[in-house]
Structure formats: C-alpha cells, structure tokens
Amino acid sequence: MRICLLNPTHTAIGSRIPSDHLPPLGLLAVGGPLLDDGFAVRLVDADRAGLDARQTLVAVLAEPVDVVMMGHSGSSSAHRTVLNLALRLKRLHPRLIIVCGGVHPTYHWQETLAQCKAIDFVVRGEGERTTRDLLRLLDAGADWRQLPGIAWREADGPAASAKATMLECLDDWRVGWELIAHENYSYWGGMRAVVVQFSRGCPYLCSYCGQRGFWTRWRHRDPARFAAELARLHREHGVQLINFADELPTGSRKAWRAFLEALIAQNVPLTLVGSTRAGDIVRDADILHLYKRAGVIRFLLGIESYSQATLAAIRKGATQSEDREAIRLLRQHGILSMASCVVGFDERSDADFLRTLRHLRDYDPDQIQTLYATPHRWTPFYGEVARRRVLEPDTRKWDYKHQVLETPGVPAWRVFAWVKFIEVAVQLRPKALWRTFFNRDPDQAHAMRWYTAIGRKVWFHELAEFLFRRRHFQAPPALEDLAGSSMADEEESMAVGRARGRVVRLVAQR
C-alpha cells in the first residue's frame, strides 16, 4: 500500500509568523514502523510549505496513493482544516482510505466520524503500533474490527474498539527521520533543528492540561540510546538544535542525569531547549552544571499562575517560592528561563492582572510566554468552567493565543489590553533589555534577540487581528451549551494492562 502522511497547514500564529519550522514528530513516529514493515511512505508537510487547501490536494495526489494519514500537534485548532481536506480528497479520489489521529480525534472520535464521512478510521491514543497493525490488516484484506485503538463508521453510526494499550518500551519504535530533508527544518533563528521526545506523559494532575491524560502514564527512552540518536542526527544530518516536545523530560532525576551524562560523552555541540517544572530545576540544583555542559540553553517553566490560591485550584502542585528559586538557579548556571503566564483561570478584576504583572517582574524571568486558558472537554478544567461564556466561535483559534472564555467582570478588550501591556512591561524592563542587547554570552544574546524579534512580530499581529479581524459571539453561549458536556471520565486515552478486543458501538448524537 502507498501511504501519504499529511501534516496540514495550521492557522495558529505560532505556525505562520516565524520563518522557522520544526518537523512533524507525530507523523514521523508513525512513519518509522510503517517503513520498517515495507510500506511505501512519503510525507507532505503542507504546514512547513504554507500550502493552501488546493495546493495541498495537488501535493498529496501528485503521486499514486492508497492511504492518507493526517495528524497535527495543534490537534484541536487544526481539526476543521483536517475535516475540510478529508472531504476534498475523498471527492477527488473516492477509493482513498483516510485515517486521522492525534489528541483531538482520540477523544472526539464520535463527532469526527459523524461530521466527516470522508474519514474512514480514527486512531486513538499513541499511533505507532495501532497504525502499523491497522495497515497490515487492511493490506491483507483481514478483519480489523477487533484491533484495539481504532474507531470507524458503521450503518448505525460511529463504532470503536477497546482502548489501545500504551507502549511500554518507547525504544521499540523508531522515528522515520528519512522522510524529511533536514535542511528544510530550523528553529532558534535558522539553526537546523528537530523536535524529539525523551519521555511521554506526566504524573502531575494539572486540571487544564490536554496532554497529560492522552499519554496516560509517564515513561522515558533509554538515556544512552536516546543520546546516541541525537548525536547521530548531528553527525549525519547536521542537526544543531534539539527541541524537546516532552511535557516533563526531567521527570526522573536518575534517567535525566544519565541522559545528560551520555550526551556529554558523545561530545557533540548540540543546543537543547524544552519545557519542564520549576520543582525539577530546584531538585536538580546540584547537577545543573550538567544541564549546561550537555547544551541546555533555555527551559520554559510551566508556572501558569502567580497566585498560590490559583495554583492550588488548578492542581499545579507547585509553590511561588519554588518557581522563583528555579528562575534564580537557571540564571546562576547560565541557562535562560522562560516563564509561562496563563490568563483566564480566575481573574475577576483589573487588580488581578496588576498583581500578575507585579509577580512577573518580581520573579524576573529572561522571557515570558502569555497564553489564554483553553478548555478541552476531556480535562477536569472543562467541567469547572462549563457555565462560563464562550467568546471565540472559530475553533481554529482555540490555540492558547486567543481568548476563548469570557472573564467575568473584565470585558474582552480590557483583558487583551492587559495581556499586551504585561508583555511589553516585562520584556522592556531595563534588566531584560540589558540581557538582550549587552549579553556577554553570544549564545544567550542570540537567543534573546531572536525571541524578541519573533515576539515583536506576534505582538503587532495579535493587535491588528484583535482590532480589525476578530469576530466574537454577539450573545456568547455557555461553554457546555456550545461544545457539550464534560468528558473528564475519559481523560486517560489508553489502557495500561492488556487490552481486550471488545467493540463498542455508539451512535453519534447531534
């Protein structure tokens, strides 16, 4: 069978503003096992090329194809684009088998299959094993209905098999790096780059996280094998920068330290960036010199809120003192800190935004990332805000960079004004400007200037969009009236034990 992996063009600001693009790791991870099974596999990365729908169809159908598999890391905000492409592909090629996967369709398989009759299968949960097994069965003309981890459409509506069992050993499944030309992908201002996962999952119970339950349990790669893979990417393909897609790469101090030491032993000049929890940085105070030697230049710290009451309400499992100390420790070891700030949890007045600004200035991070709380039906947070009003009708903008939920007591325009003011006030502090333009470390200076340049473009883009192109609901509906009831009981997408071949038939309701 001839398979095309399609990474659709994403409308999110983060995909369209920077000139840098990272390879679609999820599709490459699915592609590796398919290549090893002898399937003819190619990748169409419409997102990197910025293709519109017509150009994407031309690229997919430029070569003979039997199966198109679509997925995107921006799963919910890319969903409408996926549905549109599926319909148009099927219209042009009726015998084409279309499969979609990712976080959003994993949970919304019923409505996905009900909305779009062009989609034949949804792969639920991790895709490596399920996709390989599904294609094997389809290729052999065998019965696939008992295969765990898939959903499909029958005469009486969408149907699904039992949950797939999560992958216990991540090293059994390889990434299909040969599907990309590495020179086409860069990050950090033109550095040849890849995105990788040392681990999957997170043991913490943050109520708003749309990823934690998808991966079900925290697991990690073999540290030495993973370090060797990164070193090979540098030596054979000239990769310079490694971007970690992990929710928590540092989850195990023992495993993370073993990886750092193994990568140092490989003696390759790699630059590492990623995200982690402030608590792990404080925990690793005595080995942060290994972070630096291995090439870590920046960690985004998922601080989210600067109110201890809010941290408790969203089950963050963190403290203000720990967050502040992590930033101090990173700076002490020559590693940049980026602090996240999520608006929309429990602000009720302008005073709440002012307190956030004061805390951010007090924490003194090198960079900040401001986001808006975005509700996903499979998270506990969704149930907590189910009666909040929805401002944004276009789900393509549910990308954390647009206001989705109404803030009681503060109109949308003033929330936006506060967010833009906070960004300017923090990034234009004398300390931040000094670190950007007079930094003695050339790598840090490059990182600060590159991020400042991107931030400036995004800032003005968001301002113009809000003023001239945004269309909010005139009479905002409540969240659950618009999107449905909570699915928090289904948060863990995969089984931990051995999955049974039970089939569940559910007719999707309007």
Identity of the amino acid at 462: E
What is the rounded distance in angstroms from the CA atom of residue 315 to the CA atom of residue 206?
5
**Length of the chain in residues, anyone?**
510
Q: Which residue has the tokens 């779009």?
A: 116
User: C-alpha distances in angstroms, 472 versus 182, 227, 419, 468?
Assistant: 40, 47, 18, 12
Identity of the amino acid at 392: E
What is the rounded distance in angstroms from the CA atom of residue 381 to the CA atom of residue 373?
9
Percent of the chain with pLDDT over 70: 96
Q: How big is the chain by its Cα radius of gyration, in Å?
A: 23
- Going edge to edge, which strands form the sheet with 271-276? 186-187, 191-196, 241-244, 271-276, 296-301, 336-343, 367-372
Minimum mean pLDDT among 37-51, 450-464, 493-507: which range?
493-507
Q: What is the pLDDT of residues 360-385, one digit of tens each?
A: 999 999 999 999 999 999 999 999 99
Bridge partners of residue 487, in order along the sequence: none
Question: Residue 13: is its pLDDT beyond 70?
Answer: no
Chain centroid offset of residue 477 CA: 27
What is the rounded distance in angstroms from the CA atom of residue 400 to the CA atom of residue 6?
23
Any idea of the CA torsion for 172, 178, 181, 184, to the nearest 10 degrees? -10
Cβ-based neighbour number of residue 47 at 10 Å: 26
Q: Encode 137-148: b = buried (16+ Cβ within 10 Å), e = exposed.
A: bbeeeeebeebb
pLDDT at 73: 67
Q: Which residue has the tokens 């030697």?
A: 293
Any idea of the CA torsion for 378, 384, 388, 390, to the nearest 10 degrees? -20
Judge whether 73 and 196 are in contact, CB under 8 Å. no
* Confidence band for 390, pLDDT divided at 50, 70 and 90: very high
Question: What is the 8-class DSSP label of residue 62?
Answer: T
Q: What is the pLDDT of residues 211-236, one digit of tens each?
A: 889 999 999 999 999 999 999 999 99
Bridge partners of residue 5, in order along the sequence: 43, 69
- CA angle at residue 141 from 135 to 143, to 5 degrees? 85
* Confidence band for 469, pLDDT divided at 50, 70 and 90: confident
pLDDT at 503: 39
Chain centroid offset of residue 281 CA: 22
Pairing of strands 186-187, 191-196: antiparallel
Judge whether 164 and 129 are in contact, CB under 8 Å. yes
Task: List, by residue range, all CATH 3.40.50.2300 domains of the chain.
Answer: 2-166+497-505
Instruction: Say whether domain 2-166+497-505 belongs to CATH 3.20.20.210.
Output: no
pLDDT at 497: 67
Pick the CATH number of 170-469 from 3.40.225.10, 3.80.30.20, 3.40.50.880, 3.40.30.10: 3.80.30.20
* Confidence band for 14, pLDDT divided at 50, 70 and 90: low
Judge whether 277 and 250 are in contact, CB under 8 Å. yes
Q: What is the pLDDT of residues 276-323, one digit of tens each?
A: 999 999 999 999 999 999 999 999 998 888 888 888 889 898 888 999
pLDDT at 505: 40
pLDDT at 11: 79
What is the rounded distance in angstroms from the CA atom of residue 59 to the CA atom of residue 151?
27
Average pLDDT of the chain is 92
Q: Which two tokens stand for residue 215?
A: 């991966």
Judge whether 206 and 482 are in contact, CB under 8 Å. no
Nearest by Cα to 298 from 356, 369, 354, 353: 369
Minimum mean pLDDT among 65-74, 333-342, 433-442: which range?
65-74
What is the rounded distance in angstroms from the CA atom of residue 54 to the CA atom of residue 59?
9
Confirm whether pTM is higher than 0.95.
no
* Confidence band for 504, pLDDT divided at 50, 70 and 90: very low
If you average pLDDT over residues 419-448, what whole number do you get? 94
If you average pLDDT over residues 78-90, what whole number do you get? 95
If you average pLDDT over residues 329-333, what whole number do you get? 97
Task: List, by residue range, all CATH 3.80.30.20 domains of the chain.
Answer: 170-469
pLDDT at 471: 73
If you average pLDDT over residues 477-503, what whole number do you get? 81
